[in-house]
A and B are shown apart, each in its own frame.
Chain A
Amino acid sequence: MSFWGFLASVFQVDLLQGLSVTGKFFLHRKATIQYPDVKPVPADRFRGMFGFSEERCIVCHNCAKACPIEIIHIADHFEEIEVEGKKKKKKVLDRYDIDVKRCMFCGLCEEACPTEPVAIWLTTKSYESAAYERNERLYFDKKRLQNWDGVEPYPGVVTPEKGQMPNDPSGGAAGKAGEQKS
């Protein structure tokens, strides 16, 4: 052990270093966000409550297949419609349910969605979806996924029903600018 090392061990320099670290943090700016009074600002790519667009959905089931915990439940049936005199079969969505209480917000459903823009997305910034009853209130059918009954949208964000678009940092507040394909 060197002389300085010996001195450092006698005067317990390492303990003083530890004390100086905590002393510095004592005066540090606090990281706490006092939540109900101050709302945290999520990043643009923050994955929050689901947005869903029934008119863009082509009922391909890719999202349900991509979901690692299988919480997306889809049911459909075929309807015959006439397009330019020819009879065509078209898939119609009966049921599009997401069991949000079990969701881990991985975003794989959004990545699997083939439509442009995607029909299901999580970049909504809205995180206030807590409820007192989990089986009813945190199980979202296709209607509630669009009108967000029971979800408090992040300030400045509109519901999917009112024209929110995926990957839109303004959350649709800037009008329906995202209607055209980008």
Chain B
Amino acid sequence: MANPWIAFLVVPLVKIVVILVAVILLAAYLSFFERKILAYMQIRIGPNRVFPRGWLQPIADALKLFSKEDIVPTRAEKLVYLLSPVITTAPALVVFSVVPFASATTLFGLLKEPVTPYLTDINIGILFILGVSSVGVYGIILGGWSSNNKFSLMGGLRSAAQLVSYEVPMGFSVVAVLLMAGSLSLVKIVEAQKQAGVWFFLPGIVAFFIYFVCGVAETNRSPFDLPEAESELVAGFHTEYSGMKWAFYFLAEYANMVVISSVATVLFFGGWLRPFPNVAALAFLDVVPPFLWFAAKVGFFLFCYIWFRATFPRYRFDQLMALGWKVLLPVSLANVMAVGLGVLLMGGAR
């Protein structure tokens, strides 16, 4: 890649387009899988009418949303109302720029030089993800406020309170991993797991549990879906949204699910690594390309998301706050102490 134009413009642009299209398609198909899995857990069949066994259902849904009327409430704050879905969606998509999908690859020998199948690897990757993804809540609370609807406002407020509460234990659970890995870069974290020979899931099981619970809460998914609790708030912050604006919220929610699952995979489940990456007896597992390992782990977490939704009833708001502040926060703090002590005794970060 002698030509700097190729290295600095064409390659990143191609990667951006591929990642964006993949994420948007994944978000669309996640809705299909969610309906399917929910249906299966309720011994129904789910959508199966649109051409091959329902597989084009997300496409049909997207076309429907494109052609729907876009209603703006008369007394809404027009500009804020218009901007909020964008404020929510953009961070959810931007975050994917630092998610490492796989190690450097030549695409089975198609390319002369190996390319990294992620957009960039910055040395504050996890901080970037936590910071940018938290911006999304502005879109939710502004959307709830600008709709000029009490249900929307309450949904937005709940979402803000929930995010503030759960961001804290989530940050501490990530700190435990950072102590073990000794780096903020997501690629370095995966490589540290390769060196350690074990996924951080095993030494950091408490951190993983806290991270995933907080992740479910941060994405406003059941059983923490209070901001859009149907039975109480109609549809919460997006009560007044319709058409493509609503679709943007929808896209952001599912993209955030993928982000949380990807980060959980990278931090605790070894990213693109196979199980027990240093055990030579399992070398036959290397037949599976690294990206498929990553995708399989992310898929499992996404399945868990939907599984939880099919199983658990919604938390009451005070229970939600009590869980966040009285259980998760002390446990995550104690976990940081314990992991730090362990790392110290084992001789520092690897």
Residues of A within 8 A of B (CB): 15, 18-19, 21-23, 25-26, 28-32, 34
Q: Is the CB of A30 within 8 A of B312?
A: no
22 contacts between A and B (CB under 8 A): A15-B311, A15-B312, A18-B311, A19-B307, A19-B311, A21-B311, A22-B41, A22-B307, A22-B310, A23-B41, A25-B40, A25-B42, A25-B43, A26-B37, A26-B41, A29-B43, A30-B40, A30-B44, A30-B45, A32-B44, A32-B45, A34-B45
- Select A31's contact among B41, B44, B308, B310, beta carbons within 8 Å: B44
**CA gap between A133 and B42 in the complex, in Å:** 35
Taken residue by residue from 308 to 334, chain B's Cβ proximity to chain A (1 for < 8 Å, 0 otherwise) reads as 101110000000000000000000000
Taken residue by residue from 28 to 50, chain B's Cβ proximity to chain A (1 for < 8 Å, 0 otherwise) reads as 00000000010011111100000
B234 to chain A, nearest CB (A): 26
Interface residues of chain A: helix, strand, loop or mixed (majority): helix
| Neighbouring B residues of A21 by C-beta, 8 Å | 311
Instruction: Kindly identify, within residues 41 to 90 of chain B, every residue whose CB is under 8 Å from any CB belonging to chain A.
Output: 41-45
Interchain Cβ contacts within 8 Å, total number: 33
Residues of B within 8 A of A (CB): 37, 40-45, 307-308, 310-312
- Select B41's contact among A15, A25, A29, beta carbons within 8 Å: A25
Considering only CB atoms, which chain A residue lies closest to B37 in the complex?
A26
Q: Is the CB of A23 within 8 A of B43?
A: no
**CA gap between A18 and B41 in the complex, in Å:** 12
| Neighbouring B residues of A23 by C-beta, 8 Å | 41, 307
| Neighbouring A residues of B40 by C-beta, 8 Å | 25-26, 30
A30 to chain B, nearest CB (A): 5
A31 to chain B, nearest CB (A): 5
Considering only CB atoms, which chain A residue lies closest to B310 in the complex?
A22
Q: Is the CB of B43 within 8 A of A31?
A: yes
- Residue of A21, A22, A23, A29 most packed against chain B (CB within 10 A): A22
Given A22-B307, A26-B40, A32-B45; 7 other pairs, CB 8 A cutoff: A15-B312, A18-B311, A22-B311, A25-B41, A30-B43, A30-B45, A34-B45
Considering only CB atoms, which chain B residue lies closest to A23 in the complex?
B307
**CA gap between A22 and B313 in the complex, in Å:** 13
- Residue of B37, B43, B45, B312 most packed against chain A (CB within 10 A): B43
| Neighbouring A residues of B44 by C-beta, 8 Å | 30-32
| Neighbouring B residues of A29 by C-beta, 8 Å | 43
| Neighbouring A residues of B37 by C-beta, 8 Å | 26
**CA gap between A34 and B44 in the complex, in Å:** 10
Considering only CB atoms, which chain A residue lies closest to B42 in the complex?
A25
**CA gap between A25 and B40 in the complex, in Å:** 7
Considering only CB atoms, which chain A residue lies closest to B48 in the complex?
A34
| Neighbouring A residues of B41 by C-beta, 8 Å | 22-23, 25-26
**CA gap between A15 and B308 in the complex, in Å:** 9
| Neighbouring B residues of A30 by C-beta, 8 Å | 40, 43-45
A37 to chain B, nearest CB (A): 11
Considering only CB atoms, which chain B residue lies closest to A15 in the complex?
B312
Considering only CB atoms, which chain A residue lies closest to B313 in the complex?
A18
Q: Is the CB of A28 within 8 A of B43?
A: yes
**CA gap between A15 and B43 in the complex, in Å:** 20
